[in-house]
Amino acid sequence: MDERLMAMTATMKATGAAKMLGIAKRMVATDPDVSGRDVLARLESAMAEEEAAATVAWVASEPDRADCIKCGGPVETDSRDRSRWIHSADGSRGCRAATFTVEDGWDETIPKSWNAAPKRSV
C-alpha cells in the first residue's frame, strides 16, 4: 500500500479517536457523575454519525462513468478534479495514450489531440 496513504489513514484514525475522547471528556466535565452507560451510548451514537457521514462521502466520491465520445473507451471523472474526464483503463486524458500496450504500442489511428470526454453529459 502507498506509504502516504497509510500515513493519512493513521492520521484519520488518530483524529477519530481524539474526537471520541473529547466527547467523553466533555460529558464528564459537564456531569462528573455521568454513568459509563451514558458515555458509551453517546460514543456509539457519535460513531454511527461518523460512519453515516463516511458512507455519504464515499458514495459522493464515486466517479461518473461513460464511454468516450472520441475513442469509445470507458471514461470517468477524475477524483482530483471532477470536471475532468480520464480513461478508466489507465487514468490518462489522451485517447491515444489510453490505447498503449507494451506489445503493440499506441493506436496510431487516434489523433494525439483527442482527450477523454463523455458521450453524454452527466
Query: By rule CB under 5 A, what count of residues binds Zn ion?
Result: 5
Q: For the CB of residue 66, give the shortest distance to Zn ion in the complex, in Å.
A: 10
The only residue of 66, 71, 86, 97 in contact with Zn ion, by rule CB under 5 A: 71
70 binds Zn ion (CB under 5 A): yes
Q: For the CB of residue 98, give the shortest distance to Zn ion in the complex, in Å.
A: 6
95 binds Zn ion (CB under 5 A): yes
66 binds Zn ion (CB under 5 A): no
DSSP-H helix ranges across 32-89: 36-60
86 binds Zn ion (CB under 5 A): no
Stretch that binds Zn ion, among 12-20, 40-48, 57-65, 109-117 (CB under 5 A): 109-117
Starting at the edge strand that comes first in sequence, how are the strands of the sheet with 74-78 ordered?
A: 65-67, 74-78, 81-87
Stretch that binds Zn ion, among 19-27, 42-50, 63-71, 100-108 (CB under 5 A): 63-71
Q: Which residues bind Zn ion (CB under 5 A)?
A: 68, 70-71, 95, 116
